[in-house]
Amino acid sequence: MDNSARSQNNSSEGRLYKSSLRYMWPFAIMGYVASGFLIYQGCKGLKMYPAEIGDPFRYISGYVPICLAALVILCITWLFFKNSGRRIGLTKKYFLYRTFRNSKMKKIPWDRLSINAPDESKSALFRTAYITDGTTSMLIERCFFPEFDEMCENIQELTKAARGRN
pLDDT at 117 over 90: no
pLDDT band of residue 9 (cuts 50, 70, 90) is very low
The one-letter code for the residue type at 153 is E
Give me the pLDDT at residue 24, please: 84
Q: For the stretch 99-124, what's the b/e string if a residue is b when 16 or more beta carbons lie within 10 angstroms of its beta carbon? A: eeeeeeeeebebeebebebbeeeeee
Q: Mean of the pLDDT values across residues 72-91? A: 90
Q: Side chain identity at 69, as an amino acid letter?
A: A
Element (H, E) at 98: strand 94-98
Which pLDDT score, from 0 to 100, does residue 1 have?
A: 37
Q: Give strand pairing partners of 108.
A: 95
- Which pLDDT value is given to residue 102? 74
* pLDDT at 5 (0 to 100): 38
Element (H, E) at 9: helix 3-13
Q: How far apart are CA 141 and CA 107, in angstroms?
A: 20
**pLDDT, position 39:** 94
